[in-house]
Every structure is written in C-alpha cells, then in structure tokens.
Amino acid sequence: MRRPGRLARAAIAAGIAVGSAGLSGCGSSTTTTAVRPPALVAPLDTSVTGPAGTWAVLGMGDLGQPDNTFWQTFYLRPPGGQWTLRTPPGVADNGGLVIANGGPQLVVGFLPSNLLQFSPLALSTDDGATYQTGLVPDGLAAVPDALSVSSTGVAVALTGDQVVTSPPELGNWQPLVALAAVEASTVGRSCGVQRLTAVTALPNAALLGADCTHTTTAGVFAVAGGVLRLVGPQLPVGTAAGALDVLRLVPYRHGLAVLLATNPGPRPTYRAAWEPTLSGPWTLGPALTSGRLLSASLTPAGGFAIVTGETETGGGTGATAAGAGGTSGETGATGKPGAGRTTGEPGAGGTTGETGAGGTTGASGSPLLAAVVEPGAAVWSVLPTPPTGTAALVIAGGRTEALGVEGAAFTDDRLMTGRWVAVQTITVPIAFGSSS
C-alpha cells in the first residue's frame, strides 16, 4: 500500500490528536439539565396562637444536613410567659413536625424520615408537659396543615396521596378521599388540581386545600357525605386564570383562614382570605408580592404573619403590596428598602401599624421580610426587618416576636418601639449524629 504524503500524514495526525484530546477531555463539566422552579410549599416553620397559648415549630441544628436537622416545638403560656421546649420524645423528627391545635388536645405528628415511613403521633392535654402516643399508618405530608383535629376530636390527615380521617381516639384511620379522585372530579378538573396541600377538620366536614394550575377560584374543597364541592375564595374580577396555590388552610375562632399564592416562582404574590362563619362569603385580603416563603404563622385574630426570603434576583426592590380587592399594583404602602429597623409599634391585638420601614434588603443587609395581614386590613403591614436567622413570627398577647434559630440556639426577639430586642435564648440539647 502506498504511504500517504507528508502533508496528508500531518493532517491525519492533527485530526487524530485533536480527537484524542477531545475524547480525553470529554469529562469536562457535565451539562446540567434545566432546573424547574420549585413548587411553592408552605414551610414547616410556623407558629399558632390559641386560647391556651402559642405553639411554635422550628427546624434546628445543622439545617444543611437533613440527618442533623431536628425539629422542635416550643410553647408560650399566656400571658407574659417564657418559651419552653416541649418537643415530644421517643421518635427522631428529622423529617419535620406538624401540629394540630384545633381540638380538645394538642396533636403533634412526626413526618417520615430516613427509613421510617409512617407517622407516629404525640398527644397532650397538658400543653406538652406529658404526651401519649398515636399513629397515622401512612406518612404525613410535609406541609404545616397536614394534620387537623376538629372541636369534637375528629381528625383529618393528609398523607402522600390521600386524605384519611379518624374518630376522636385517633386509632382508626380510614380513607376519606384520594388525590386521584379529587383530580378526576368535575370540580377538581375545573381548577386543574396538581396536589393537595392542606386539610382542616370541621365537626361535619373536612376541607382540603390544593394547588391548582388554571383557575381564579382557590382550590379549597369541602368533603361531606362523599360529595366534593369547590368552596374556595375567588380572585378579584378581571384576574386572569392561572396557577393558584393554597399554602395554609386553618380554622380560627369560628371561621376559616386561607393563605394563597399566585405566580409561583421567584416572587409570588401572597393573599389571605377569610370566611368568618363557615357559611360564606369569603373576604379577600390585600396582595403582597415578595420572595420565597420561609414561614407562615397564624395570629390569634386569624391573620397571617409571614417571613419571606430574598429572591433569585437578590432581593429586588422591596415588597410591593396591593390593596384588598384591587388588582396587583402599588396601591398600598410599600416597604422602604434600606430604612432599617425603625418606627412603629405593635398595635393592640398584635397587629402592626404602618411602619413604612424594613423591606427586603435593608441597610442591615438582612434578606428577610416580615409582614402581617389581619382580617379586614387594607394592606399588609411590613414589619422592621427581622433579625438574621428568623424562622417564624409570633403575634400573641399584644406582642410581636421573631423566633430565630442558629444551630442549637433558639432566640426570641420582641418588637419594641420599632426595634427588635432580644428577650430570650434557649440552648437546645440536640443530639447531633444520633440519626446517622
């Protein structure tokens, strides 16, 4: 065979050389698949205030390691008491805790974690001083309203793909409705149900909250006698149908409160709605566009106190609030970025006055926004920027408090004359490494 010429050999050599380099270099950074925006799910950090006191649920420890994140429950006895650690013992709670405080007893549910696939319960009639045990045979869903107990003791629980119910002794759970059935129902299809996100137990019915894909009516469904009805609040007239998520669905006093989110993504718009007497109509609250939801707590009056984090765009230009019943737009007061923690005092009943300060990225550099909306309010009240590490807000006994977490340290900062003042610290004896 005739050998190729020198030039041809050089060309072949160069080609093979580049090819071999390319083959060897094919281990350069792997391409990443497109990242879908995370679903907007209400975090488990929360607080709820009732007649007997206030409960807070917070994740503590090393929040970057699931096996070293341990959820704690804290209790605040009214009036003017101090926080005490009341985490039920006996089960590793790395998966999270949910609280149902509407019935004759406190019920704390352990979410599945690691190899535990069902949900033990802890029940207390003495504000967490002692606990008895219970069980949900399937694992509770990782949402703050996965468990609810009515005033008569009937319980409803949201598991991965269905809703179950139990009579007052919480020992005989039976299926109530499956997610698939809700999705396939006429009312479910009308709003495009994607997932169930909350349950509420009423004496004669159960309510389900759901994320919907194309609707102007919030996905709140009543289940009674085997019938499913869409009973959620409607967005203002003229609002285009789109994704509408139910983040919280909780009873308060004699009615219902629901926290909604539209435009799920880096900067959702949050709205609350109330049905004071369970027989309608709903009253829609003002809108607030802000960052990712970090916690959503319930106030004694049925309002919501939320903490949001910075957006993917680094905080943007602050929260924008819209008045109740209006379309989105800056018709209400806005938080002023960079103003720091000044002005305003908590009003009576635990609501905050218009402070006009705080915002998403204040001069302090904190990326957090704290805001409260009460039934009947025209705008969200934006609080002074809460301290770094704030995990949840508490509105109770006329006080506004920011509960923070730093490792095993629990901190309570109270809003006084427009400033956050540290009032209590608890070092929690977390057993790092015990779940690995």
Kind and range of the H or E element at 255?
strand 255-262
Tokens 């809460």 correspond to what residue? 386
Contacts of 185 (CB under 8 A, 6+ apart): 228
Beta carbon nearer to another protein, 135 or 228: 135
For the bound state, the minimum distance from the C-beta of residue 280 to another protein, rounded and expressed in Å, comes to: 40
In whole angstroms, give the CA distance from residue 386 to residue 395.
Answer: 14
Q: Is 2 exposed, middle or buried (0-12, 13-18, 19+ CB in 10 A)?
A: exposed
For the bound state, the minimum distance from the C-beta of residue 97 to another protein, rounded and expressed in Å, comes to: 8
Beta carbon nearer to another protein, 62 or 354: 62
For the bound state, the minimum distance from the C-beta of residue 116 to another protein, rounded and expressed in Å, comes to: 4
Beta carbon nearer to another protein, 42 or 123: 123
For the bound state, the minimum distance from the C-beta of residue 72 to another protein, rounded and expressed in Å, comes to: 6
Cα distances (angstroms) measured from residue 301 to each of 79, 145, 148: 16, 18, 19
Contact residues: another protein, CB under 8 A: 9, 13-14, 16-21, 23-30, 60, 70-72, 85, 87, 89-94, 97, 110, 113-118, 120, 131, 133, 135, 137, 171, 428-431, 433-436
Beta carbon nearer to another protein, 13 or 224: 13
Beta carbon nearer to another protein, 8 or 363: 8
Beta carbon nearer to another protein, 93 or 413: 93
Tokens read off for 122: 């802890």
For the bound state, the minimum distance from the C-beta of residue 90 to another protein, rounded and expressed in Å, comes to: 3
For the bound state, the minimum distance from the C-beta of residue 70 to another protein, rounded and expressed in Å, comes to: 4
Beta carbon nearer to another protein, 13 or 180: 13
In whole angstroms, give the CA distance from residue 373 to residue 271.
Answer: 9
Bond into 276 cis (ω within 30): no
End-to-end CA distance of the chain: 67
Beta carbon nearer to another protein, 15 or 314: 15
Tokens read off for 401: 């408090």
Contacts of 15 (CB under 8 A, 6+ apart): none
| Residue 301 C-alpha from the chain's centroid | 19
In whole angstroms, give the CA distance from residue 174 to residue 170.
Answer: 10
Strand 293-298 to strand 219-224: parallel, antiparallel, or no bridges (unpaired)?
unpaired
In whole angstroms, give the CA distance from residue 74 to residue 62.
Answer: 18
> Do residues 426 and 331 touch, judged by C-beta distance below 8 A?
no
Contacts of 293 (CB under 8 A, 6+ apart): 40, 42, 43, 247, 261, 268, 270, 306, 307, 308, 309
Beta carbon nearer to another protein, 26 or 240: 26
For the bound state, the minimum distance from the C-beta of residue 212 to another protein, rounded and expressed in Å, comes to: 33
